[in-house]
Amino acid sequence: MSTTTPDDRRDGQPATGGLTGTPLVQVRDLVKHFPITRGIVLQRQIGAVKAVDGISFDVIKGETLGIVGETGCGKSTTARLLVRLLDPTSGEILFDGENIAQRRKESLKALRREAQMIFQDPYSSLNPRKTVGSIIADPFVIHGLLKGQGERKKRVQDLMDRVGLNPEHYNRYPHEFSGGQRQRIGVARAIALEPKLLVADEPVSALDVSIQAQVLNLLRGLQREMGLTLIFIAHDLSVVRHMCDRVAVMYLGKIVELAPSDALYTFPRHPYTGALLSSVPVPDPIAGKRERQLLSGDVPSPANPPSACRFHTRCPKAQALCSQDEPPLEDKGGSTQAACHYPLTEAEVKLRLPVALTGTK
Protein backbone atom coordinates (compact mmCIF):
# COMPACT_ATOMS: atom_id res chain seq x y z
CA MET A 1 0.00 0.00 0.00
CA SER A 2 1.25 3.45 -0.86
CA THR A 3 2.41 5.58 2.05
CA THR A 4 2.03 8.84 0.15
CA THR A 5 0.05 11.35 2.15
CA PRO A 6 -3.02 13.02 0.63
CA ASP A 7 -1.37 16.45 0.77
CA ASP A 8 1.42 15.15 -1.49
CA ARG A 9 -1.13 14.23 -4.15
CA ARG A 10 -2.98 17.51 -4.54
CA ASP A 11 -2.59 18.98 -8.02
CA GLY A 12 -6.00 20.45 -8.79
CA GLN A 13 -7.49 17.66 -10.89
CA PRO A 14 -11.25 18.04 -10.70
CA ALA A 15 -12.08 14.34 -11.14
CA THR A 16 -11.13 13.58 -7.55
CA GLY A 17 -11.40 17.02 -6.01
CA GLY A 18 -7.71 17.85 -6.25
CA LEU A 19 -6.18 14.47 -5.34
CA THR A 20 -4.22 12.16 -7.59
CA GLY A 21 -2.98 8.66 -6.94
CA THR A 22 -4.32 5.16 -7.16
CA PRO A 23 -7.99 4.92 -6.16
CA LEU A 24 -8.84 2.18 -3.70
CA VAL A 25 -12.58 2.67 -4.16
CA GLN A 26 -14.31 3.88 -7.32
CA VAL A 27 -18.07 4.45 -7.17
CA ARG A 28 -19.98 4.90 -10.41
CA ASP A 29 -23.68 5.82 -10.65
CA LEU A 30 -24.47 4.03 -7.38
CA VAL A 31 -28.18 3.66 -6.64
CA LYS A 32 -30.04 2.22 -3.67
CA HIS A 33 -33.85 2.35 -3.65
CA PHE A 34 -35.90 0.78 -0.87
CA PRO A 35 -39.30 -0.38 -2.16
CA ILE A 36 -42.51 0.90 -0.57
CA THR A 37 -45.10 -1.85 -0.59
CA ARG A 38 -48.80 -2.15 0.23
CA GLY A 39 -50.68 -5.24 1.34
CA ILE A 40 -49.98 -8.02 3.81
CA VAL A 41 -50.46 -11.21 1.81
CA LEU A 42 -50.24 -9.94 -1.75
CA GLN A 43 -47.72 -7.14 -1.50
CA ARG A 44 -47.29 -4.75 -4.38
CA GLN A 45 -44.77 -1.98 -4.78
CA ILE A 46 -46.28 1.49 -4.85
CA GLY A 47 -43.07 3.51 -4.80
CA ALA A 48 -39.51 3.62 -3.54
CA VAL A 49 -37.37 5.55 -1.07
CA LYS A 50 -34.48 6.89 -3.14
CA ALA A 51 -31.87 6.77 -0.37
CA VAL A 52 -28.91 6.91 -2.78
CA ASP A 53 -29.70 8.01 -6.30
CA GLY A 54 -26.77 7.98 -8.70
CA ILE A 55 -23.58 9.08 -6.95
CA SER A 56 -20.02 8.80 -8.26
CA PHE A 57 -16.70 9.45 -6.53
CA ASP A 58 -13.23 8.01 -5.98
CA VAL A 59 -11.40 7.36 -2.72
CA ILE A 60 -7.62 7.56 -3.05
CA LYS A 61 -5.43 5.12 -1.13
CA GLY A 62 -4.36 6.59 2.19
CA GLU A 63 -6.77 9.53 2.27
CA THR A 64 -9.67 10.34 4.57
CA LEU A 65 -12.89 11.19 2.73
CA GLY A 66 -15.66 12.78 4.78
CA ILE A 67 -19.34 12.43 3.86
CA VAL A 68 -21.66 14.96 5.48
CA GLY A 69 -25.27 16.06 5.27
CA GLU A 70 -28.54 16.23 7.16
CA THR A 71 -30.24 13.18 8.63
CA GLY A 72 -31.80 11.15 5.83
CA CYS A 73 -29.49 12.37 3.07
CA GLY A 74 -28.08 8.88 2.37
CA LYS A 75 -24.76 8.96 4.26
CA SER A 76 -25.20 5.76 6.25
CA THR A 77 -26.77 3.93 3.32
CA THR A 78 -23.71 4.83 1.23
CA ALA A 79 -21.43 3.51 3.98
CA ARG A 80 -23.26 0.19 4.11
CA LEU A 81 -23.22 -0.14 0.34
CA LEU A 82 -19.46 0.34 0.20
CA VAL A 83 -18.84 -2.64 2.48
CA ARG A 84 -21.75 -4.59 0.94
CA LEU A 85 -23.90 -4.76 4.05
CA LEU A 86 -26.59 -3.63 1.60
CA ASP A 87 -27.06 -4.75 -1.98
CA PRO A 88 -27.08 -1.86 -4.48
CA THR A 89 -30.03 -1.40 -6.80
CA SER A 90 -27.65 -0.53 -9.63
CA GLY A 91 -24.24 0.99 -10.28
CA GLU A 92 -20.64 -0.08 -9.73
CA ILE A 93 -18.41 -0.25 -6.66
CA LEU A 94 -14.83 -0.96 -7.71
CA PHE A 95 -12.64 -2.06 -4.80
CA ASP A 96 -8.98 -2.31 -5.80
CA GLY A 97 -10.16 -2.50 -9.40
CA GLU A 98 -12.73 -5.28 -8.86
CA ASN A 99 -16.45 -4.65 -9.11
CA ILE A 100 -17.98 -5.86 -5.85
CA ALA A 101 -21.44 -4.40 -6.45
CA GLN A 102 -22.91 -7.61 -7.86
CA ARG A 103 -21.00 -10.14 -5.79
CA ARG A 104 -23.15 -12.78 -4.16
CA LYS A 105 -23.17 -12.84 -0.37
CA GLU A 106 -21.28 -16.14 -0.19
CA SER A 107 -18.39 -14.61 -2.18
CA LEU A 108 -18.04 -11.55 0.03
CA LYS A 109 -15.98 -13.24 2.74
CA ALA A 110 -12.68 -12.22 1.16
CA LEU A 111 -13.88 -8.60 0.99
CA ARG A 112 -14.50 -8.59 4.76
CA ARG A 113 -10.75 -8.94 5.31
CA GLU A 114 -10.10 -5.84 3.21
CA ALA A 115 -12.98 -3.52 4.23
CA GLN A 116 -14.36 -3.10 7.75
CA MET A 117 -16.88 -0.80 9.38
CA ILE A 118 -17.17 1.04 12.70
CA PHE A 119 -20.78 1.60 13.69
CA GLN A 120 -22.43 4.63 15.26
CA ASP A 121 -23.79 3.00 18.41
CA PRO A 122 -20.93 1.41 20.35
CA TYR A 123 -23.30 -0.67 22.47
CA SER A 124 -25.83 -2.16 20.05
CA SER A 125 -23.00 -3.17 17.69
CA LEU A 126 -21.49 -5.44 20.38
CA ASN A 127 -23.02 -8.75 21.46
CA PRO A 128 -23.88 -8.29 25.18
CA ARG A 129 -23.65 -12.04 25.79
CA LYS A 130 -20.04 -12.33 24.66
CA THR A 131 -16.88 -11.22 26.41
CA VAL A 132 -14.78 -8.48 24.90
CA GLY A 133 -12.03 -10.97 24.12
CA SER A 134 -14.48 -13.15 22.21
CA ILE A 135 -15.91 -10.16 20.30
CA ILE A 136 -12.51 -8.94 19.13
CA ALA A 137 -11.45 -12.51 18.27
CA ASP A 138 -14.51 -13.08 16.02
CA PRO A 139 -12.71 -12.02 12.80
CA PHE A 140 -9.98 -14.59 13.42
CA VAL A 141 -12.54 -17.33 14.09
CA ILE A 142 -14.67 -16.49 11.04
CA HIS A 143 -11.68 -16.45 8.69
CA GLY A 144 -9.94 -19.46 10.23
CA LEU A 145 -6.89 -17.54 11.46
CA LEU A 146 -4.86 -17.98 14.66
CA LYS A 147 -6.52 -21.29 15.50
CA GLY A 148 -4.55 -21.78 18.70
CA GLN A 149 -6.45 -20.33 21.65
CA GLY A 150 -3.32 -19.01 23.33
CA GLU A 151 -2.08 -17.33 20.16
CA ARG A 152 -5.49 -15.82 19.55
CA LYS A 153 -5.74 -14.47 23.09
CA LYS A 154 -2.32 -12.84 22.84
CA ARG A 155 -3.26 -11.19 19.55
CA VAL A 156 -6.55 -9.89 21.00
CA GLN A 157 -4.80 -8.48 24.06
CA ASP A 158 -2.26 -6.76 21.80
CA LEU A 159 -5.17 -5.18 19.91
CA MET A 160 -6.79 -4.05 23.16
CA ASP A 161 -3.56 -2.40 24.23
CA ARG A 162 -3.20 -0.78 20.80
CA VAL A 163 -6.58 0.96 21.05
CA GLY A 164 -6.09 2.06 24.67
CA LEU A 165 -7.91 -0.71 26.55
CA ASN A 166 -6.55 -2.67 29.48
CA PRO A 167 -5.62 -6.18 28.20
CA GLU A 168 -6.49 -7.59 31.63
CA HIS A 169 -10.16 -6.79 30.89
CA TYR A 170 -10.21 -9.52 28.23
CA ASN A 171 -12.96 -11.48 30.02
CA ARG A 172 -15.27 -8.55 30.80
CA TYR A 173 -18.59 -7.93 29.06
CA PRO A 174 -19.57 -4.82 27.04
CA HIS A 175 -21.87 -3.43 29.77
CA GLU A 176 -18.83 -3.14 32.07
CA PHE A 177 -17.25 -0.52 29.80
CA SER A 178 -18.00 3.16 29.18
CA GLY A 179 -19.27 4.42 25.84
CA GLY A 180 -15.82 5.52 24.73
CA GLN A 181 -14.30 2.19 25.75
CA ARG A 182 -17.03 0.30 23.87
CA GLN A 183 -16.23 2.26 20.73
CA ARG A 184 -12.56 1.31 21.18
CA ILE A 185 -13.67 -2.32 21.30
CA GLY A 186 -15.40 -1.79 17.95
CA VAL A 187 -12.26 -0.20 16.54
CA ALA A 188 -10.12 -3.12 17.76
CA ARG A 189 -12.47 -5.60 16.08
CA ALA A 190 -12.44 -3.56 12.84
CA ILE A 191 -8.63 -3.43 12.56
CA ALA A 192 -8.03 -7.03 13.68
CA LEU A 193 -7.51 -8.30 10.11
CA GLU A 194 -5.53 -5.20 9.08
CA PRO A 195 -7.98 -4.05 6.38
CA LYS A 196 -7.21 -1.59 3.61
CA LEU A 197 -10.46 0.36 4.04
CA LEU A 198 -12.16 1.49 7.22
CA VAL A 199 -15.66 2.99 7.01
CA ALA A 200 -16.60 4.91 10.16
CA ASP A 201 -20.32 5.71 10.36
CA GLU A 202 -20.63 8.63 12.80
CA PRO A 203 -18.26 6.89 15.25
CA VAL A 204 -18.29 9.68 17.86
CA SER A 205 -21.82 11.09 17.63
CA ALA A 206 -23.03 8.94 20.56
CA LEU A 207 -20.09 9.91 22.79
CA ASP A 208 -19.52 12.77 25.22
CA VAL A 209 -17.57 15.69 23.78
CA SER A 210 -14.69 15.02 26.18
CA ILE A 211 -14.35 11.48 24.78
CA GLN A 212 -14.82 12.33 21.11
CA ALA A 213 -11.35 13.83 20.69
CA GLN A 214 -9.73 10.72 22.16
CA VAL A 215 -11.48 8.40 19.70
CA LEU A 216 -10.75 10.71 16.76
CA ASN A 217 -7.06 10.89 17.69
CA LEU A 218 -7.03 7.10 17.97
CA LEU A 219 -8.40 6.76 14.44
CA ARG A 220 -5.88 9.24 13.05
CA GLY A 221 -3.03 7.43 14.77
CA LEU A 222 -4.13 4.04 13.48
CA GLN A 223 -4.49 5.44 9.98
CA ARG A 224 -0.89 6.66 10.02
CA GLU A 225 0.46 3.43 11.49
CA MET A 226 -1.46 1.05 9.24
CA GLY A 227 -1.75 3.09 6.04
CA LEU A 228 -5.54 2.89 6.22
CA THR A 229 -7.92 4.50 3.77
CA LEU A 230 -10.74 6.04 5.82
CA ILE A 231 -14.28 7.04 4.88
CA PHE A 232 -15.65 9.16 7.70
CA ILE A 233 -19.42 9.72 7.94
CA ALA A 234 -20.52 12.60 10.18
CA HIS A 235 -22.90 15.50 10.61
CA ASP A 236 -20.57 17.55 12.85
CA LEU A 237 -18.73 19.81 10.43
CA SER A 238 -16.01 20.78 12.90
CA VAL A 239 -15.13 17.11 13.40
CA VAL A 240 -15.03 16.56 9.63
CA ARG A 241 -12.64 19.48 9.15
CA HIS A 242 -10.34 18.02 11.81
CA MET A 243 -10.33 14.54 10.28
CA CYS A 244 -10.72 14.70 6.50
CA ASP A 245 -8.63 15.49 3.44
CA ARG A 246 -11.70 15.83 1.22
CA VAL A 247 -15.39 16.24 1.93
CA ALA A 248 -18.44 15.10 -0.03
CA VAL A 249 -21.69 16.90 0.85
CA MET A 250 -24.89 14.90 0.29
CA TYR A 251 -28.48 16.08 -0.04
CA LEU A 252 -31.43 13.74 -0.69
CA GLY A 253 -29.31 10.92 -2.07
CA LYS A 254 -27.10 13.10 -4.27
CA ILE A 255 -23.58 14.48 -3.88
CA VAL A 256 -23.94 18.24 -4.30
CA GLU A 257 -20.34 19.24 -3.56
CA LEU A 258 -16.97 17.50 -3.42
CA ALA A 259 -13.83 19.40 -2.47
CA PRO A 260 -10.61 19.35 -0.46
CA SER A 261 -11.41 20.14 3.16
CA ASP A 262 -9.60 23.50 3.22
CA ALA A 263 -11.27 24.64 0.00
CA LEU A 264 -14.73 23.62 1.13
CA TYR A 265 -14.49 25.45 4.44
CA THR A 266 -12.87 28.52 2.89
CA PHE A 267 -14.97 28.89 -0.26
CA PRO A 268 -18.01 26.56 -0.49
CA ARG A 269 -19.70 26.76 -3.85
CA HIS A 270 -23.05 25.04 -3.34
CA PRO A 271 -25.72 27.02 -1.43
CA TYR A 272 -26.54 23.95 0.67
CA THR A 273 -22.92 23.67 1.81
CA GLY A 274 -22.95 27.38 2.60
CA ALA A 275 -26.10 26.94 4.70
CA LEU A 276 -24.54 24.07 6.65
CA LEU A 277 -21.39 26.05 7.36
CA SER A 278 -23.23 29.22 8.32
CA SER A 279 -25.02 27.26 11.06
CA VAL A 280 -21.79 26.15 12.73
CA PRO A 281 -21.46 27.84 16.15
CA VAL A 282 -18.17 29.72 16.41
CA PRO A 283 -16.72 31.37 19.56
CA ASP A 284 -15.96 34.58 17.71
CA PRO A 285 -17.40 38.03 18.54
CA ILE A 286 -17.27 38.97 14.87
CA ALA A 287 -19.45 35.97 14.02
CA GLY A 288 -22.47 37.77 15.43
CA LYS A 289 -22.28 40.24 12.53
CA ARG A 290 -22.59 37.60 9.85
CA GLU A 291 -25.78 36.98 7.89
CA ARG A 292 -27.02 33.51 8.73
CA GLN A 293 -28.48 31.59 5.81
CA LEU A 294 -31.69 29.99 7.07
CA LEU A 295 -33.26 27.36 4.85
CA SER A 296 -37.00 27.51 4.34
CA GLY A 297 -39.22 24.46 4.71
CA ASP A 298 -38.42 20.89 5.65
CA VAL A 299 -36.30 18.35 3.83
CA PRO A 300 -38.50 16.81 1.08
CA SER A 301 -39.32 13.13 1.23
CA PRO A 302 -36.74 10.87 -0.44
CA ALA A 303 -39.70 8.88 -1.74
CA ASN A 304 -40.80 11.88 -3.78
CA PRO A 305 -37.83 14.21 -4.24
CA PRO A 306 -38.14 17.49 -6.19
CA SER A 307 -37.45 17.39 -9.90
CA ALA A 308 -34.16 18.56 -11.43
CA CYS A 309 -32.05 20.13 -8.65
CA ARG A 310 -33.36 18.54 -5.46
CA PHE A 311 -32.35 21.55 -3.38
CA HIS A 312 -34.25 24.13 -5.43
CA THR A 313 -37.34 24.07 -3.14
CA ARG A 314 -35.23 25.40 -0.24
CA CYS A 315 -32.49 27.30 -2.09
CA PRO A 316 -32.38 31.11 -1.70
CA LYS A 317 -30.72 31.40 -5.13
CA ALA A 318 -33.10 29.13 -7.05
CA GLN A 319 -34.36 30.24 -10.46
CA ALA A 320 -36.55 28.66 -13.11
CA LEU A 321 -33.68 26.63 -14.57
CA CYS A 322 -33.15 24.86 -11.24
CA SER A 323 -36.56 23.17 -11.40
CA GLN A 324 -36.14 22.20 -15.05
CA ASP A 325 -32.59 20.93 -15.48
CA GLU A 326 -30.57 18.84 -13.01
CA PRO A 327 -27.07 20.36 -12.64
CA PRO A 328 -24.16 17.94 -13.06
CA LEU A 329 -21.39 17.63 -10.49
CA GLU A 330 -18.71 19.62 -12.29
CA ASP A 331 -15.56 21.66 -11.73
CA LYS A 332 -16.15 25.08 -10.19
CA GLY A 333 -12.48 25.99 -9.78
CA GLY A 334 -10.05 25.53 -6.93
CA SER A 335 -10.29 21.71 -7.04
CA THR A 336 -13.98 21.98 -6.10
CA GLN A 337 -16.84 20.17 -7.80
CA ALA A 338 -20.42 21.28 -7.22
CA ALA A 339 -23.82 20.46 -8.70
CA CYS A 340 -25.26 23.96 -8.98
CA HIS A 341 -26.35 26.29 -11.78
CA TYR A 342 -25.78 29.39 -9.62
CA PRO A 343 -22.89 28.68 -7.22
CA LEU A 344 -22.00 30.95 -4.32
CA THR A 345 -19.75 33.93 -5.01
CA GLU A 346 -16.86 35.08 -2.84
CA ALA A 347 -18.89 38.05 -1.64
CA GLU A 348 -21.74 35.80 -0.50
CA VAL A 349 -19.35 33.48 1.33
CA LYS A 350 -17.68 36.35 3.21
CA LEU A 351 -21.07 37.73 4.21
CA ARG A 352 -22.50 34.48 5.53
CA LEU A 353 -19.59 32.52 6.96
CA PRO A 354 -17.76 33.40 10.18
CA VAL A 355 -14.15 34.55 10.07
CA ALA A 356 -13.09 31.50 12.05
CA LEU A 357 -14.18 29.28 9.14
CA THR A 358 -13.08 31.30 6.11
CA GLY A 359 -9.92 32.75 7.59
CA THR A 360 -10.74 36.09 5.92
CA LYS A 361 -11.89 39.46 7.19
Q: Under 8 Å CB-to-CB from 194, ≥6 apart: which residues? A: 226
Q: Give the CA dihedral 108, 114, 118, 124, nearest 10 degrees.
A: 40
CA–CA gap between residue 253 and residue 335 (Å, rounded): 22
Low-confidence ranges of the chain (pLDDT < 70): 1-20, 282-292, 354-361
The pTM assigned to this predicted structure is 0.89
**How far apart, in whole angstroms, are the C-alpha atoms of residue 72 and residue 53?**
13
pLDDT score, position 147? 81
Q: What is the pLDDT of residue 3?
A: 37
Task: Tally Cβ neighbours within 10 Å of residue 261.
Answer: 20
Kindly tell me the burial class for residue 220, based on how many C-beta atoms sit within 10 Å of its own C-beta (0-12, 13-18, 19 or more).
middle
Candidates 188, 183, 185, 191; CA nearest to 207 is: 183
Query: Could you tell me the CATH superfamily of domain 18-35+49-251?
Result: P-loop containing nucleotide triphosphate hydrolases (3.40.50.300)
> Residue 31: which of 199, 253, 308, 201 has the closest Cα?
253
For the chain, give every domain's residue range: 18-35+49-251, 270-358
pLDDT of residue 358: 56
Tally of CB atoms within 10 A around 162: 18
What pLDDT does residue 4 have? 38
